[in-house]
Amino acid sequence: MSRLGLIDYGMGNLHSVQRAFERLGATVQPVQCGAEMEGCKALVLPGVGAFDPAMERLRQGGLAEAITTWCDAGRPLLGICLGLQLLFEASDEGKSTGLGLLQGRVRALPRRPGHPIPHMGWEPLVPANPSPLLPADSPESWVYFVHSYAAEPSDPACNTALVRFADTAVTAAVWQGAIGACQFHPEKSGPHGEAILRRWLAWLDAL
């Protein structure tokens, strides 16, 4: 089973993510600097909190540059929640530039009566373009969300799953090259989230 580098920049729910992967047999190594990525097959970028402080911490520790170098080399990465948003170029939530590994901007969820923000709770994924996270034959997946913002990729083909919110559908998961990411929390999504993580690990092992 692959060794995973779990990016530790002080703003992720590291323990629950680590436990979820270890239950599936993966070896997880916390990563606080670029040198600690050595020997890892893939990176996991979690995140809970606000966009600007997260990017500031990633830059201060040299992790932003190390992650960019990693992904520019075509190496695998999985983002979770805020970790998905940080992959894009910018966010309505702040003024900082993002990692820019995926083109597009993170937008505030639309304000509609009867649809509180943050969007919180269990929702079914709406399949988009198939990916290792959500292949074409995947069964319906109900997963757990907590978010006030959603990515808007420049290329809609980047979306592998959407979720309905108010009168629209917004990005729930993306896939491009060797980069995948989930706006929802797979580690908190029971058997359906576990199945998504298991598919990603199987894809890694096949590389």
Active site residues: 81, 185, 187
Residues 6+ apart with CB under 8 A from 166: 109, 110, 112, 115
Cβ atoms within 10 A of the Cβ of 42, count?
A: 22
Q: Which long-range contacts (CB under 8 A, 24 or more apart) does 157-160 make?
A: 157/129, 158/102, 158/104, 158/129, 159/128, 159/129, 160/127, 160/128, 160/129, 160/130, 160/131, 160/133, 160/134
Q: What is the Cα Rg of the chain in Å?
A: 16
